[in-house]
Amino acid sequence: MKALSTKSKIVFLSTFPPTQCGIATYTQDTIKGIADVYGKSILCEICELVDKPKIKPTQAFTLNTKNRKEYTTVAEEMNTDKSIKLVHIQHEFGLFGGNYGDHLLDFLNVIKKPVTFTFHSVIPNPNDELRTFVKLLLRYSHSVFVMTNQSQEILVNDYGISKELITCVPHGTHVVVYETPFSAKKKFDIQDRLVLSTFGLLGEGKNIETGLKALPKIIKNTPNVLYLIIGKTHPNNITNGVDAYRNRLEQMVDDLQLRDNVRFVNEYLDTAHLLEYLKATDIYMFTSKDPNQAVSGTFSYAMSCACPLVASKIPHTLEVLTSDSGILVDIGDADQFAEAAIQLLSDEKRREEMGINAFRKTRASSWENVAITHMNTYKKLMDKTYEIKYSYPAIELAHIKKMTTELGIIQFSKISVPDPSSGYTLDDNARALIAFCMHYKLTEDKDDLPYILIYLDFIERCQKPKGNFMNYIDENNREHLEQNEAANLEDSNARAIWALGTVVSHSAILPDSISKKASKCLLNALKWSENIQSPRSIGFATKGLYLYHSTIPNLYVAAIINKLNAKLLSNYEIHASKNWKWYENYLTYANGILPESMLYAYLVTNKPIYKKVALESLDFLTSKMFLDDNFRVISNKGWYQKNTEPHPYGEQPIDVSYTIQTLNAFYNATKSPEYKQQMKTAFNWFLGKNHLNQIMYNPVSGGGYDGLERENVNLNQGAESTICYLTARLIMENLKATDSKVIPLSKSRTTMAIHS
């Protein structure tokens, strides 16, 4: 593939804000998702659909759908722009002029770019004319997106469209940081109310009347209920300045004496504000009365904000809403709405469980994941010579800071809510200390220093008189003898040495008191470190000792590095064979630390055998993880045993991060472009280049998801996963800077071309 000199363009034919309609908002969110994930190589432009001449066009193209001549004119304009690689038409029958919107055919007859559609409506049981027209549209594109499985089935069964032409992608949702409704209500000072809500551009189809009719019965059971009706009236429903529909709703509120229990939020809210209202909702009331409504963005958004739902039965809700996340009721049946709401209002635990289930179900439909699905289809239609590259998200520390108390970083998180009862571990605080040192070096942000000190103090708190460390401290800062004795503490102790060496290696930029404290702890641990036996523990400790020795040369430290890696070398010589160049008869977790340890041993001792084994074992490891330009994580389901086929699925962020860290060390030592490319390929796993095509981080908070399973992402964002994602992200940020010059791994030795 050739590199792009300019970005490739995708043009969307659609309404667009400030036009207030669902398709305009949908297109805006789709484009933002694509820009967030692929903005490095893709530029999305708008051909704005309007119904009257626009005096000052604000988009790249404008199409007045009532002026038939413009359909061909706009297509000809697009044909002259060589950077446009695809045209994506947001299709709704009322958007385009003519019978069934057939003026669009004038555009399709002229456009020479690949075309795809999103069908926002798929009408079942079409007459012959409609069926023929839809089939004709798809002859121009051979590609269409729909948002529900039912829409796909209708196209296949009622229209005779080949399933191969259809991409089913759920309506996108915004990633939010999960919180309980009680917590979210504080922003609106309504903690004392149980909140029902509905939102969207108001009109007859929303059928808010049903919710209002259900409310008196609900109030008898729950007097403190508050029904929020959020959103402006649809512009098409306002005639000569008269908002008849809203006036009717207001009159209903008065007639039913509901003023204390109903609040109209008559605004077109920005997305962030709307999502805050939804997070504060105890039950979302979806009252739509259109039995053929294929998809609802408001319904999707409510689920994504962890709202339990009471929803009328339309195709979208029937397909998506199961009994573990809401209750389905008949369209327009106020009694059923009331009974369902009363059930849920009377059971807080059930509401919480339903909300979490709804939240989990919609993570796959985040706009970032929707963008990935779109791009996978676009690639089939676009010129194959252009490379589509991922963009790196902003570095966010919100979640890791939320997980950190005055004592240290909490071990586990329930989704994004820290779980103090899980306590604190040396492992996690060591990892966090390393990550914050990296972040401080990158940004020189003074706000990092208190966190660095918290994590360092935790390590110091865990150190015992003989220099070794305990691993577990409970939420009350107490040692748990059973947990600390039951676990194999070599790995956690060795990680502490790695973290302490990292601090010392940053002594030029850190306060002297921090560097001295880390140095003292590390030196106290040296005697213990001589006797490490576990291969990975040897690797972790070697990394820390190498960083210390590179900053403060120390013959004793160098001797320990040699002694430890002689053990690791012995392991290699025992287990390695022609087709298995490894230190054990299996690959488990954090495998990259083993060849990385050999690399550091070579850089300290200059012994050729360490260099040979470092390169051999890394080549072996990467041959198992990088296949056909794809990255495959070693599964934690039984790991990868010698002479067996590896298990699929069960992938954890820690292994992706350690692979990137190891490749980074070898890249810094050799400047081999292969290692750099492999780093990018591995990091793309976080960005959605995995078997589920889903991002593995929360872009709002920087939380890292705990694992990738066969059919789902584990959305808990514990300390380990969050820190591992952050560490990998920081390395990729630094990669741009290190491209311009060689950075030696050791101050006492120039960087060696170890492939020579």
pLDDT, position 236: 77
Residues 6+ apart with CB under 8 A from 712: 360, 364, 692
Q: Is the pLDDT of residue 405 over 60?
A: yes
| % residues pLDDT > 70 (the chain) | 96
Instruction: Tokens 């004709």: give the residue.
Output: 136
Q: Residue 520 corresponds to which tokens in the numbers above?
A: 């003292």
Least confident of 106-115, 160-169, 265-274, 601-610: 265-274
Radius of gyration (C-alpha) of the chain in whole angstroms: 30
Gap between the Cα atoms of 697 and 717, Å rounded: 8
How far from 547 is each of 432, 542, 561, 594, 671, CA to CA, in Å? 17, 8, 11, 16, 20
Q: What is the mean pLDDT of the chain?
A: 93
Residues 332 and 657: beta-carbon distance below 8 Å: no
Q: Residue 509 corresponds to which tokens in the numbers above?
A: 């930029």
User: Looking at this protein, which amino acid is placed at residue 676?
Assistant: K
pLDDT digits (tens, 9 = 90+) for 627-683: 888 899 999 998 999 999 888 899 999 999 999 999 999 999 999 999 999 999 999
Q: Residue 430 corresponds to which tokens in the numbers above?
A: 């060591």
Strands 417-425 and 166-168: unpaired
pLDDT, position 485: 61
pLDDT, position 745: 39
pLDDT digits (tens, 9 = 90+) for 163-177: 999 999 999 999 999
Q: How many CB atoms lie within 10 A of CB 356?
A: 19
Gap between the Cα atoms of 283 and 684, Å rounded: 37
The mean pLDDT value for 31-42 works out to 95
Burial label, 349 (beta-carbon count in 10 A; 0-12, 13-18, 19+): exposed
pLDDT, position 5: 45
How far from 270 is each of 282, 490, 668, CA to CA, in Å? 21, 51, 45
Q: Where are the beta strands (DSSP E) in 30-189?
A: 42-50, 61-64, 84-91, 115-119, 144-146, 166-168
Residues 307 and 355: beta-carbon distance below 8 Å: yes
Complete DSSP assignment for 620-632: HHHHHHEETTEE-
Name the helix (H) or strand (E) containing 199.
strand 194-199
Residues 729 and 684: beta-carbon distance below 8 Å: no
Q: Residue 122 corresponds to which tokens in the numbers above?
A: 């798929």
**703 secondary structure, DSSP code:** P
CA angle 243, 245, 247 (to 5 degrees): 70
**419 secondary structure, DSSP code:** E
Residues 6+ apart with CB under 8 A from 661: 592, 593, 596, 727, 728, 731
CA atoms within 13 A on the CB side of 669: 24
Q: Is the pLDDT of residue 150 over 90?
A: yes
Q: Which residue has the higher pLDDT, 740 or 121?
A: 121
Gap between the Cα atoms of 371 and 394, Å rounded: 17
Name the helix (H) or strand (E) containing 547.
helix 535-551
pLDDT digits (tens, 9 = 90+) for 201-220: 888 888 999 999 999 999 99
First and final CA of the chain: distance in angstroms?
Answer: 29
Which residues is 227 bridged to in the sheet?
Answer: 196, 262
pLDDT digits (tens, 9 = 90+) for 466-506: 999 999 999 999 987 666 665 568 999 999 999 999 999 99
Gap between the Cα atoms of 299 and 332, Å rounded: 16
Cα-flanking dihedrals φ and ψ of residue 425, to 5°? Answer: -125, 150
Residues 585 and 641: beta-carbon distance below 8 Å: yes
Gap between the Cα atoms of 20 and 530, Å rounded: 68
The mean pLDDT value for 528-554 works out to 97
Residue 697 zone, left/alpha/beta (φ > 0; ψ -120 to 50; rest) = beta
Residues 275 and 301: beta-carbon distance below 8 Å: yes
pLDDT, position 141: 93
Least confident of 403-412, 487-496, 528-537, 548-557: 487-496
Strands 115-119 and 84-91: parallel
Establish whether the linkage from the previous residue to 18 is cis, with ω within 30° of 0.
yes
How far from 120 is each of 23, 159, 331, CA to CA, in Å? 8, 16, 21
Q: Is the pLDDT of residue 747 over 70?
A: no
Cα-flanking dihedrals φ and ψ of residue 418, to 5°? Answer: -55, 145
Residues 268 and 228: beta-carbon distance below 8 Å: no
The mean pLDDT value for 354-363 works out to 96
Gap between the Cα atoms of 647 and 641, Å rounded: 9
Q: Residue 618 corresponds to which tokens in the numbers above?
A: 């890394």
pLDDT, position 749: 33
The mean pLDDT value for 600-617 works out to 98
Which of these, 376, 380, 416, lies nearest to 396 by C-alpha position? Answer: 416
pLDDT, position 290: 87
Select the highest-mean-pLDDT range: 17-31, 224-238, 481-495, 652-666: 652-666
pLDDT digits (tens, 9 = 90+) for 369-403: 999 999 999 999 998 767 889 999 999 999 999 99
The mean pLDDT value for 148-165 works out to 96
Q: Is the pLDDT of residue 144 over 70?
A: yes
Name the helix (H) or strand (E) containing 670.
helix 653-670
Q: Is the pLDDT of residue 244 over 90?
A: no
Burial 583-612 (b: 16+ CB within 10 A, else e): bbebbeebbbbbbbbbbbbbbbbebebbbe
Q: Which residue has the higher pLDDT, 4 or 548?
A: 548
Q: Residue 532 corresponds to which tokens in the numbers above?
A: 């490490």
Q: Is the pLDDT of residue 752 over 50?
A: no
Name the helix (H) or strand (E) containing 421.
strand 417-425
Which of these, 710, 718, 656, 661, lies nearest to 686 by C-alpha position? Answer: 656
Residues 60 and 16: beta-carbon distance below 8 Å: no
Q: Residue 258 corresponds to which tokens in the numbers above?
A: 């509901």
pLDDT, position 385: 67
pLDDT digits (tens, 9 = 90+) for 729-738: 999 999 976 6
CA angle 212, 218, 223 (to 5 degrees): 110
pLDDT, position 152: 97
Residues 6+ apart with CB under 8 A from 375: 34, 37, 38, 42, 388
Residue 288 zone, left/alpha/beta (φ > 0; ψ -120 to 50; rest) = beta
pLDDT digits (tens, 9 = 90+) for 423-452: 999 999 999 999 999 999 999 999 999 999
pLDDT, position 737: 66
Residues 200 and 268: beta-carbon distance below 8 Å: no
Collapsing DSSP to helix, strand or coil, 280 comes out as coil
